[in-house]
Structure 1
Amino acid sequence: MIERYSLTATPEKISERFSIDIPELFKPRYNACPTQLMPVITSASPQGISTFYWGTSPEWAKNKSLSEKIINTPVEYIAEKPAIKRAMMKTRCIIPADGFYAWKKAGKKTFIPYRFICTDQEIFSFAGLWEEYEDTDGNEFHTFTIVTTRANTMVASIYDRMPVILNKKEESVWLNKESTEEDLAFVLNAYAGERMNLYSVSPRISDVKADVPSLIIPAPAADQFGNLTLFD
């Protein structure tokens, strides 16, 4: 699963990239985690930004393991599961980002975190799907999932899955209400590995409470306990 990503650009840069207004309360996120409120742009309202919970709300997430939370939607499920295909046709969104994280298994209990960025666009987006729910008190809330695909050659050296990364042209197709199933399927591909880069980061990225600028700075390869390793 893709469990972490970042959106650290300034509001001005995000506004310019997506041609939208950014709320005053926006703040950079160096370690976006499931259940957190994050900005998305929906096909229902592409002219503005919304804040939805990633996967589920914190209240609903109680007593659930991460694997039980719907944080990723494998692109393969779209063809296999009619409900997900219907969601793709009706409730699409893009998730602004400037990096994502994955952990390389380097031993039985050793995992090393890496950050992935695009070298041809500083800010990009993930393809996503969103849903609306109602809690026991009748309050509505919205969630989103990140569509994932098989890893490209760059990401595959660390992990076997990656988010579907979109460029501006692909975003227009994904957010267009008139796009056909064939149009949408065409953009759900792995981003080219030669247009990406990666580097190891601090194992503090594993801490859901950590959200500081130092998390996106390259760091020597170390496992989740902070022990330096021979892997890079």
Structure 2
Amino acid sequence: MCGRYSLNKSKIELEERFQAEMLGDFKPRFNIAPTQLLPVLTSDSPKGFSFFYWGITPDFAKNKPVSQKLINARAETINQKISFKSSFEKRRCLIPADGFFEWKRIGKKTKTPYRFTLADESLFSFAGIWEEYENDKGELNHTFLILTTEPNGLVKDIHDRMPVILKKEDEKKWLDSYSSEKELLEMLLPYQTSEMISYSVSPLVNTVSNDTASVLRKTSPMDQFGNYTLFG
């Protein structure tokens, strides 16, 4: 799964990279987590950033612990599952990011956090789907999920899934309502290993409130308790 990512870029950088306008302000994010309100580009509005909740809204999540798991959708079955099929066909989105985190399990109780980025640490986009629904107060809410796929050679030593990172040339086609199912499914592959890098980061990233640049710094491998490990 993908449960944490970063977007350490400015509003101007986002607008230039995706050729889209952001009406509101945006500050770089270092430790993004589910239920937060985040910028996306949708099939309905590809030239303007929208802000949707990742996975589910905070209000809903308070009473639904299981909702924390509703943050990803498997790319392999996205066109088959009733719960995702309609969104895959009609409501696709790009989720801007510049890195994501996964945790390497060492033994039964020890986990070490790692960050994955493109080789040049530039902006990219995850493939996503979005949904609109009405809450108990009659207000419209918008949420998104990140699609995941099999891990590439870099990720597989850390985790058995990775988010779908779209090639830059496929981003417009992902949002295009005229793209065929076959074209769309062919985009949902592991990103090329040679074009990515990874490194261990501080266990500070384990705590959502630590949304500071310090969580992105390269460190020697440490477990969730801040103890150095023998494994990189």
Per-residue CA distance 1:7-26 (angstroms, 9 max, x = gap) = 00122211111001233421
Structure 1: runs of 5+ lacking an equivalent? none
Separation in structure 1 between the aligned mates of residue 228 and residue 121 of structure 2, nearest angstrom: 31
Separation in structure 2 between the aligned mates of residue 189 and residue 120 of structure 1, nearest angstrom: 20
Per-residue CA distance 1:97-116 (angstroms, 9 max, x = gap) = 00000000011110000000
Q: Report what 2:16 is aligned to.
A: 16
CA RMSD, Structure 1 to Structure 2 (Å): 1.4
Q: Report what 1:88 is aligned to.
A: 88
**Which segments of structure 1 move beyond 6 Å, counting only runs of 4 or more?**
none
- Check 1:3–1:14 CA distance in 2 against 1; reply closer, same or farther (3 A cut): same
The answer to whether the 8 Å contact 2:124/2:165 transfers is: yes
Secondary structure of 1:156's counterpart equals coil
- Tell me which amino acid in the other structure corresponds to 2:223: D
Report whether the alignment pairs 1:30 with 2:36.
Answer: no
Q: Report what 2:98 is aligned to.
A: 98
Q: Report what 1:57 is aligned to.
A: 57
Separation in structure 1 between the aligned mates of residue 67 and residue 104 of structure 2, nearest angstrom: 18
The answer to whether the 8 Å contact 1:127/1:146 transfers is: yes
Which sits farther off after the overlay, 185-194 or 79-88?
A: 79-88
- Tell me which amino acid in the other structure corresponds to 1:147: L
Identical counterparts, % of pairs:
50
Secondary structure of 1:186's counterpart equals helix
- Check 1:81–1:24 CA distance in 2 against 1; reply closer, same or farther (3 A cut): closer
1:167 shift after superposition: 2.2
Separation in structure 2 between the aligned mates of residue 63 and residue 109 of structure 1, nearest angstrom: 28
- Check 1:214–1:66 CA distance in 2 against 1; reply closer, same or farther (3 A cut): farther
Separation in structure 2 between the aligned mates of residue 217 and residue 83 of structure 1, nearest angstrom: 38
- Check 1:9–1:66 CA distance in 2 against 1; reply closer, same or farther (3 A cut): farther
Separation in structure 2 between the aligned mates of residue 113 and residue 29 of structure 1, nearest angstrom: 17
The answer to whether the 8 Å contact 1:2/1:72 transfers is: yes
Q: Report what 1:219 is aligned to.
A: 219
The answer to whether the 8 Å contact 1:61/1:69 transfers is: no
Q: Report what 1:112 is aligned to.
A: 112
The answer to whether the 8 Å contact 2:99/2:121 transfers is: no
Separation in structure 1 between the aligned mates of residue 190 and residue 149 of structure 2, nearest angstrom: 6
1:80 shift after superposition: 3.4
- Tell me which amino acid in the other structure corresponds to 2:104: K
Per-residue CA distance 1:54-103 (angstroms, 9 max, x = gap) = 00000000133356541000112214313422211100000000000000
Structure 2: runs of 5+ lacking an equivalent? none
The answer to whether the 8 Å contact 1:71/1:145 transfers is: yes
- Tell me which amino acid in the other structure corresponds to 1:217: R
Q: Superposed, which structure 2 residues align to 1:58-207 within 5 Å? A: 58-65=58-65, 68-119=68-119, 122-207=122-207
TM-score by structure 2 length?
A: 0.96
Q: Report what 1:44 is aligned to.
A: 44
Separation in structure 1 between the aligned mates of residue 86 and residue 173 of structure 2, nearest angstrom: 17
- Tell me which amino acid in the other structure corresponds to 1:29: R
Separation in structure 2 between the aligned mates of residue 69 and residue 140 of structure 1, nearest angstrom: 22
Which sits farther off after the overlay, 62-71 or 128-137?
A: 62-71
- Tell me which amino acid in the other structure corresponds to 2:135: D
Number of equivalenced pairs: 232
Q: Report what 1:209 is aligned to.
A: 209
Separation in structure 2 between the aligned mates of residue 51 and residue 187 of structure 1, nearest angstrom: 24
Per-residue CA distance 1:145-190 (angstroms, 9 max, x = gap) = 0000010010001111101001221101101111111111111111
